């Protein structure tokens, strides 16, 4: 029988699908009841959870029917307690939003989630965001480079610009265009490959920091991840397999280093989110100075595993704990749980080839943790995302100047040996024109061991 909660107790129902959750930093409270609904082995540590309902869904249960059935049952049981539904996976946002609407539970409803699925639509629909967003235009139909170049000049002021397919794009389908000739050549090269009929062209801003701020509507900014590079974007580094660094700043550190960013985030929150929303909000943008901050998009969860690791680096309050605390409304500040260190991660994007040797990373003055993401002699592909790395180096130091100096030294001196020819030799059959090979050649290519 389900235990009865007191009238003043908060009930938080966490729903998991493939996300392994650890609440080791959550401090149990008498006025909060934590209930988890998830498949087996999704909780790393059960000690901070009051009730764990295991649900064994079918392998191909893409609609999460069994999970949602249990969640509906719990919402009905605790309906008088105004339960909060919390998810950490994008795939669960829509079915949980549907339950909120059907069961009259506070939080995002399905129609509100559309803003997060289509950021460009949200910018157009919300006049408050259009004024603080980078200029962009849409191009659709059969590529017409000359006509489209004229449209780019008229609508966003010309080049440089960033071109991306509206759907199904990856890092290598995004073009950073410096001039009109590059624009025309990019479409001639890519339109037949990606077969997209709808593109978004956005103005390119240089000499600033990309950022991803985690906020709540009650507490304002809680932390921020920013790119240290100012002369090239993170996506350009990924495309070119160049190392880059991402820094995590606490709320107070963000206010000192990026003045005006918190008020900018609050403006975005008020433009998009209902005043009753209590969850976390991840706001992406571009910071040049306190008068030039641009909105790029938003989400309800971190967009990469790298971001999750960065939020957990301070060892004070991982983002999952922040998400639960935000559901409780304004909370008194815990001055005993403050980390005054600065934190960053250096990513070395993977490149197509075979890793020859895992180089030794010498210790610096800053504290350091090294994580090789690829084994020696392992085959790798070109990086396509923040998480596609051959090596990650985490640094932290109470002195930011020394931290950045160590970061630059590691990026400059680290040499990772990758054999880019090994895959050509090992998979030569795949790279030949098979139509020109005889049957005998095909058999030998598949069976030889010498």
Sign of the torsion formed by the C-alpha atoms of 363, 246, 305 and 34: positive
CATH 3.40.50 is held by the domain 10-106:
yes
Task: Report pTM.
Answer: 0.84
What per-residue confidence (pLDDT) applies to 25?
Answer: 85
The answer to whether the beta carbons of residues 150 and 302 sit under 8 Å apart is: no
What per-residue confidence (pLDDT) applies to 115?
Answer: 62
| CB < 8 Å & 24+ apart, contacts of 63-68 | 63/95, 64/17, 64/92, 64/95, 67/15, 67/17, 67/37, 67/38, 67/92, 68/95, 68/96, 68/99
Topology alike, domains 10-106 and 209-330+338-417: no
Q: Compare 192 and 338 and report the one with higher pLDDT.
A: 338
What is the C-alpha to C-alpha distance for residues 56 and 37, in angstroms, rounded to an integer? 10
What is the C-alpha to C-alpha distance for residues 352 and 241, in angstroms, rounded to an integer? 10
Burial of residue 109 (number of CB atoms within 10 Å: 0-12, 13-18, 19+): middle
Arithmetic mean of pLDDT, 204-225 = 90
- Omega before residue 160 within 30° of 0, cis: yes
Model confidence at 266: pLDDT above 50:
yes
Computed over every residue of the chain, the mean pLDDT equals: 83
Rg (CA), the chain: 25
* pLDDT-wise least confident of 48-57, 78-87, 119-128: 119-128
Over residues 251-262, the pLDDT tens digits come to 999 999 999 999
Most confident listed range (22-31, 145-154, 393-402): 393-402
Nearest alpha-carbon partner for 419 in 361, 377, 360: 377
Question: Token pair 């506070």 is at which residue?
Answer: 106
Q: Give me the CATH topology for the region 209-330+338-417.
A: D-amino Acid Aminotransferase; Chain A, domain 1 (3.30.470)
What per-residue confidence (pLDDT) applies to 168?
Answer: 62
What is the C-alpha to C-alpha distance for residues 124 and 135, in angstroms, rounded to an integer? 11
**Residue 28 DSSP one-character state:** P
Over residues 102-130, the pLDDT tens digits come to 998 988 888 777 765 555 555 544 546 66
Tell me the two tokens of residue 152.
């780019």
How many other C-beta atoms can be found within 10 angstroms of the C-beta atom of residue 135? 14
What per-residue confidence (pLDDT) applies to 221?
Answer: 93
For domain 135-203, the CATH superfamily is ATP-grasp fold, A domain (3.30.1490.20)
Q: Is 448 left (phi over 0), alpha (psi -120 to 50) or beta?
A: beta
Helix (H) and strand (E) counts for the chain?
15, 19
Query: How do the domains of the chain map onto residue ranges?
Result: 10-106, 135-203, 209-330+338-417
Strand order in the sheet with 161-165: 136-140, 198-203, 161-165, 175-177
C-alpha separations of 398 from 314, 333, 336 in Å = 11, 21, 17
Q: How confident is the model at residue 356 (pLDDT cuts 50, 70, 90)?
A: very high
What per-residue confidence (pLDDT) applies to 206?
Answer: 82
Q: Compare 432 and 166 and report the one with higher pLDDT.
A: 166
DSSP code per residue over 185-219: HHHHHHHHHH--SEEEEEE---SSEEEEEEEETTT
What per-residue confidence (pLDDT) applies to 286?
Answer: 94
Q: Compare 51 and 312 and report the one with higher pLDDT.
A: 51
What is the C-alpha to C-alpha distance for residues 21 and 87, in angstroms, rounded to an integer? 10
| CB < 8 Å & 24+ apart, contacts of 222-229 | 222/251, 222/280, 222/322, 223/248, 223/249, 223/250, 223/251, 223/254, 223/311, 224/248, 224/249, 224/254, 224/258, 224/261, 225/249, 225/307, 225/310, 225/311, 226/258, 226/287, 228/344, 228/404, 228/407
CB environment 382-417: b (16+ within 10 A), e (fewer): bbeebbbbbbbbbbbbeebeebbebbeebbeebebe
Over residues 287-318, the pLDDT tens digits come to 999 999 999 888 888 989 999 989 887 766 78
Model confidence at 433: pLDDT above 80:
no
What is the C-alpha to C-alpha distance for residues 358 and 376, in angstroms, rounded to an integer? 6
What is the C-alpha to C-alpha distance for residues 252 and 61, in angstroms, rounded to an integer? 44
**Residue 133 DSSP one-character state:** B
* Element spanning 440, H or E: helix 439-447
Q: Compare 165 and 319 and report the one with higher pLDDT.
A: 319
Percent of the chain having pLDDT more than 70?
82
């Amino acid at each position: 029988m389900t235990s009865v909660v007191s009238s003043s107790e908060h009930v938080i129902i966490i729903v998991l699908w493939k996300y392994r959750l650890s609440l080791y930093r959550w401090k149990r409270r008498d006025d909060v009841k934590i209930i988890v609904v998830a498949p087996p082995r999704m909780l790393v540590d059960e000690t901070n959870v009051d009730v764990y309902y295991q649900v064994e869904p079918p392998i191909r249960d893409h609609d999460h029917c069994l999970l949602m059935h249990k969640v509906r049952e719990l919402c009905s049981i605790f309906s008088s307690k105004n339960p909060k539904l919390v998810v950490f996976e994008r795939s669960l946002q829509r079915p949980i939003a549907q339950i909120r609407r059907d069961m009259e539970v506070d939080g995002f409803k399905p129609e509100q989630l559309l803003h997060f699925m289509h950021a460009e639509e949200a910018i157009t629909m919300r006049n408050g965001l259009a004024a603080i967003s980078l200029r962009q235009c849409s191009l659709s139909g059969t590529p017409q480079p000359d006509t489209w170049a004229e449209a780019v000049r008229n609508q966003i002021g010309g080049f440089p610009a960033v071109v991306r397919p509206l759907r199904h794009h990856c890092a290598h389908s995004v073009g950073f265009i410096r001039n009109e000739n590059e624009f025309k050549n990019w479409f001639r090269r890519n339109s037949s490959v990606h077969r997209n009929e709808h593109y978004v062209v956005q103005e390119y801003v240089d000499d600033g920091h990309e950022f991803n701020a985690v906020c709540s509507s009650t507490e304002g900014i809680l932390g921020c991840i920013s790119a240290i590079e100012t002369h090239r974007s993170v996506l350009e580094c990924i495309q070119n397999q160049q190392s880059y660094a991402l820094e995590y700043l606490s709320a107070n550190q963000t206010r000192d280093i990026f003045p005006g960013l918190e008020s900018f985030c609050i403006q975005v929150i008020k433009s998009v989110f209902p005043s009753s929303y209590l969850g976390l909000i991840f706001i992406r943008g571009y910071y040049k100075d306190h008068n030039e901050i641009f909105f790029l998009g938003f989400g309800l969860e971190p967009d990469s595993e790298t971001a999750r690791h960065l939020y957990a680096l301070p060892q004070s309050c991982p983002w999952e704990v922040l998400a639960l605390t935000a559901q409780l409304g304004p909370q008194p500040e815990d001055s005993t749980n403050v980390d005054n260190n600065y934190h960053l991660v250096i990513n070395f994007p993977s490149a197509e080839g075979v890793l020859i040797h895992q180089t030794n990373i010498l210790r610096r003055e800053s504290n350091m943790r090294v994580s090789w993401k690829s084994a020696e002699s392992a085959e790798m592909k070109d990086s396509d995302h923040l998480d596609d790395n051959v090596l990650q180096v985490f640094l932290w130091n109470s002195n930011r100047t020394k931290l950045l100096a160590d970061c630059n030294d590691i990026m400059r001196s680290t040499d990772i040996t990758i054999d880019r020819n090994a895959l050509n030799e090992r998979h030569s059959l795949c790279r030949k024109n098979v139509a020109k090979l005889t049957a005998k050649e095909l058999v030998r290519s598949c069976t030889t061991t010498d």
